[in-house]
Amino acid sequence: MSNSFDDIPFFDEEPEPRRPQSRGAAAPAQAGAPATGGLGIAARAMAARDQNRTSIDYLSGLNPEQREAVETTDGPVLVLAGAGTGKTRVLTTRIAHILATGKAWPSQILAVTFTNKAAREMKERIGVLVGGAVEGMPWLGTFHSIGVKLLRRHAELVGLRSDFTILDTDDVVRLIKQLIQAEGLDDKRWPAKQFAGMIDGWKNKGLLPPDIPEGDARAFANGKGRELYAAYQARLRTLNACDFGDLLLHPIALFRKAPDLLKEYHERFRYILVDEYQDTNTAQYMWLRLLAQRPKGVPQNVCCVGDDDQSIYGWRGAEVDNILRFEKDFLGAKVIKLERNYRSTEHILGAAGHLIAHNEGRLGKTLFTDRSDPDDQKVQVHAAWDSEEEARAVGEEIERLQRGDSTDGKKHALNDMAILVRASFQMREFEDRFVTLGLNYRVIGGPRFYERLEVRDAMAYFRLVCQPADDLAFERIVNTPKRGLGDTTVRALHDYARARDIPMLAAASDMIETDELKPKARKALFDVVQMFKNWQERLENIPHTELAEQILEESGYTDMWKNDKSAEAPGRLENLKELIRSMEQFESMRGFLEHVSLVMDAETNENLDAVSIMTLHSAKGLEFDTVFLPGWEEGLFPHQRALDEGGRSGLEEERRLAYVGLTRAKHRCHLWFVSNRRIHGLWQSTMPSRFLDELPPAHVDVAEPSDSSYGGYGGRGGYGQSRFDKAEPFANSYSTPGWKRAQANKTDATRDNWGSRSGHAVERIGYGESGPRGRTIDGELVAKSVSATPSKYFVGDRVFHIKFGNGNVTAVEGNKLTIEFDRAGEKRVLDGFVERVKT
């Protein structure tokens, strides 16, 4: 690409909305931009287009549909972009095109994404296209970050001050817990976490306390749900704080309250673009509708890009309906489908397409590709005996690919491979295995950097220095490190503060003058108050990173970890250093705090060659040469809970998740299912996922194991046969003895891969030291088999288990047996899976 965009004007902030066409002397040229004889890029671009359309280099290389999506700038457009069809390219080129043709200034384009990552990527890619002018796109960001921007400007209209704090989930839960206790309710019977979830759900729907359904209101806190929600909102206001939902709801309220202001924004935003439209929730939809309104006759230049087949966030409020309804919402909308896929092989697309066709209520797209290579591998379905073997076999295949021993004979980088799991507990076994093998891996997802205990503690100090009214921060750190300021003191402070309607830090300042507190607490509190006074004085006078260091030193916080002998302590100190290092990029402590509350995801170390392990959800938008999809079993995938709670639509969302998984693969895709999996610490027999049945045989190979000795399911435990035994459309190839053998694939022969290589590296992106490990799923399988009926087995019984062989029952608890197996040692299993052995 060229520098031909160099002289696109840009604005740091708030240019007067003006007609680009009337530009000229008014346009501030970008520093260093060459003078172009008075002819701006827009004019040049348009001239070029008029002469010869293909001469505009940023448009070349687009296929006709993509090009249409880029060039249809006026009027509503819905771009249905299938996986791997160049969605981001269309979005970024479209913005470049709008700029190049002089239809709008950078500051007149509103471009919304869902994640910070997507926003960052878009900025970078536009930057490449336009050559830096993207700095002047102040309205490119996530719904939430744009919401913050609007609110900071107009906070007073919704009863906030413009320096409001943004609370994260953790703060919210603590706050709600206080409210529940203040109401005199039992916080065990009414868990704060659950209520936080309910509030989040309401806010996703755009509902404030008066709007929530009566049933919802009654379902919590002895029917006081609505009051509690209202109390929460009131408390946020006194704290001058917002939760994430408010960042959407307040702007909506604001626009409704001040139509003139809304009109200003209408004039400002000539073009609106929304990425991942299938993931928008009702509140975001309302927000968008308000901003997209135009008087009659004025075109609504709204372009939404999305893929209904990749909607996987229904459970957190996303409304696929928004995308399905687009044409009704925006009359005269043009719908452009992108179906030409540039990512995957025919087989992968064929498998994914056939699978997703089982869903109803789609807009209907079929991906196709020009590539056709007889050497392309079909999607491979593998069976393993249990999850341990699954991990072992995946590890072997990865090593084969790495060595170049695999089918294509080429060596593959670990960076090009990924394991995508349905639930994070599945990651563990792969990690264990890879540690054993000395295989580099990186785990993506889970709690982020700023969610770590030490980072949050440090942040609480910083917040309180900047925002003395931040009671949540105050409560978090008054007694961290330990200062002898326990519950009693904090409660006293709390009551004092609430009674006088002042912040707790101020209350502390008052109370040290009285003799309400014990001398010991009083002294400790005096020190705390003094420290904060000191820091606040320094806030404007010394560099913020220096102050941050001093705060952590003087508060004794770093010492607390230095004196901690636990294994995590050094890592925590390292994280604190990292936190301060990352502050350097910001102008002030306030600027930093704002950033952290909204963004701050860990970056991947691109230099490390490692296999990625992540959930299917976090894999959306990514692609890998080889993709491993383990755990395709009923109850896990589709997840039992999705079926129980979501019914048919739940199943369809699971299927979309499967579709997302398959379409991540460029060249090789391996599916796995196991016959035995440990669920809630108990070994369970499992059935292959119905999604396997929904794959087209033409694009799928069933991997044959090398040897076999298969015991069969044996109809134990009330599950009957494998569904693959039933006569189903594609069941034939799966019900052959070979297939059954595949399910029984044993790999004792493969047990010799032990020992660790040197230089083994593990990267944990976004995971704290204690990620969600060892979690298991709740499923029908368990619900069915764990019954109240006492077991027919007794201590001392000799039994046989399909996985572990013979053993003696050593304990019976309902139908859960503890068995000492002759070879496998002590295990807990359900009695449905063992047989009494005659002795």
Partner DNA sequence: GCTCATCTACTTTTT
Partner DNA sequence: GTAGATGAGC
The interface region with DNA, picked from 23-31, 333-341, 398-406, 768-776 by CB under 7 A, is 768-776
Q: Which residues inside 617-646 make contact with DNA, applying CB under 7 A?
A: 617-618, 639, 641-642, 645-646
**Residue 119 contacts residue 141 (beta carbons within 8 Å):** yes
The interface region with DNA, picked from 368-376, 547-555, 575-583, 598-606 by CB under 7 A, is 598-606
Neighbours of 62 (CB within 10 A): 17
Q: Which helix (H) or strand (E) holds 531?
A: helix 519-539
- 684 three-class SS: strand
- Ligand-binding site membership of 776 (annotated): no
Q: Which residue in the set 18, 316, 325, 577 belongs to the binding site for DNA (CB under 7 A)?
A: 316
Distance CA(172)–CA(183), nearest Å, equals 17
- Using CB under 7 A as the binding rule, whether residue 244 contacts DNA is answered as yes
Q: Exactly one of 171, 246, 276, 594 is catalytic; which is it?
A: 276
The answer to whether residue 88 is catalytic is yes
**Closest C-alpha to 297, from 102, 75, 70:** 75
Q: Which residue in the set 530, 563, 770, 787 belongs to the binding site for DNA (CB under 7 A)?
A: 770
DSSP conformational letter for 639:
B
Please give the C-alpha separations between residue 808 and each of 71, 680, 786, in angstroms, as whole numbers: 73, 22, 20
- Ligand-binding site membership of 113 (annotated): no
Pick 481 or 697: Cβ nearer DNA: 481
- Using CB under 7 A as the binding rule, whether residue 791 contacts DNA is answered as no
Distance CA(783)–CA(227), nearest Å, equals 36
**Closest C-alpha to 303, from 118, 12, 66:** 66
- Using CB under 7 A as the binding rule, whether residue 562 contacts DNA is answered as no
How many binding residues for DNA (CB under 7 A)?
Answer: 59
Distance CA(8)–CA(6), nearest Å, equals 6
Q: What single string gives the DSSP state of each residue in 157-218? A: GGT--TT-EE--HHHHHHHHHHHHHHTT--TTTS-HHHHHHHHHHHHHTT--GGGS-HHHHH
Longest dimension (CA), the chain: 100
- Using CB under 7 A as the binding rule, whether residue 115 contacts DNA is answered as yes
- Ligand-binding site membership of 658 (annotated): no
- Ligand-binding site membership of 82 (annotated): yes
- Using CB under 7 A as the binding rule, whether residue 198 contacts DNA is answered as no
Minimum gap (Å) between residue 371 Cβ and DNA = 30
Minimum gap (Å) between residue 617 Cβ and DNA = 4
Minimum gap (Å) between residue 387 Cβ and DNA = 12
- Ligand-binding site membership of 446 (annotated): no
Q: Exactly one of 7, 65, 87, 416 is catalytic; which is it?
A: 87
Minimum gap (Å) between residue 410 Cβ and DNA = 31
Binding mask 381-420 for DNA (x = CB under 7 A): ----------------------------------------
- Ligand-binding site membership of 72 (annotated): no
Binding mask 150-189 for DNA (x = CB under 7 A): ------------------xx-----------------xx-
Please give the C-alpha separations between residue 565 and each of 377, 559, 568, 599, 641, in angstroms, as whole numbers: 52, 12, 8, 32, 41
Pick 42 or 254: Cβ nearer DNA: 254
Neighbours of 560 (CB within 10 A): 18
- Ligand-binding site membership of 83 (annotated): yes
- Using CB under 7 A as the binding rule, whether residue 135 contacts DNA is answered as no
399, with CB counted inside 10 A (0-12, 13-18, 19+), is middle
Q: Which helix (H) or strand (E) holds 234?
A: helix 225-238
Distance CA(145)–CA(454), nearest Å, equals 25
Helices 282-292, 246-257: axis angle to 10 degrees equals 30
Minimum gap (Å) between residue 169 Cβ and DNA = 5
Q: Which helix (H) or strand (E) holds 709?
A: none
- What's the token pair of residue 265? 């924004």
The answer to whether residue 684 is catalytic is no
The answer to whether residue 664 is catalytic is yes
Q: Exactly one of 30, 36, 88, 169 is catalytic; which is it?
A: 88
- Using CB under 7 A as the binding rule, whether residue 479 contacts DNA is answered as yes
Q: Exactly one of 65, 171, 275, 470 is catalytic; which is it?
A: 275
Q: Which residues bind DNA (CB under 7 A)?
A: 114-117, 142-145, 168-169, 187-188, 244, 247, 315-316, 422-425, 445-446, 448, 479, 482, 484-489, 521, 598-599, 601, 614-615, 617-618, 639, 641-642, 645-646, 650, 654, 678, 680-681, 766, 770, 772-778, 828
Catalytic residue ranges: 87-88, 275-276, 310, 664
- Residues marked as binding for ATP? 81-88
